[in-house]
Amino acid sequence: MEGGTGWGIGHALRDQITLTDGVVDQTNFDSYEPMRMSDMPVVEVHMVPSTLRPTGVGEPGVPGAAPAVANAYFSATGKALHVLPFAGAGAV
């Protein structure tokens, strides 16, 4: 869950793939920087007791990350964000 949340926040803030003449510009981690552990906020995961067999829960943290960042930014600034990544839109 923490990894999925980090992945979603990374996409929301800065992950972007661009093309020049149909070729990807970001060829390695020097030009494409994913979310780093040092950039991660504290993420609290709470387990709900259940009698069901455990399954994977990594990806559910991804979809809500960008809306949460956009809502927090709007609450802080009064400006709405509509284009991902938000850093590319000059927001953060």
Domain boundaries defined on the chain: 2-41+61-89
pLDDT grade, residue 88 (50/70/90)?
low
Span 17-22, mean pLDDT?
A: 92
Q: Which residues lie closer than 8 Å to 8 by C-beta, 6 or more apart?
A: 61, 62, 63, 64, 65, 66
Sign of CA dihedral 65, 34, 92, 41: positive
Q: What CATH number does domain 2-41+61-89 carry, 3.20.20.210, 3.40.50.1820, 3.30.365.10, 3.30.390.30?
A: 3.30.365.10
pTM value is 0.74
pLDDT at 58 over 80: no
- Which pLDDT score is estimated for 31? 81
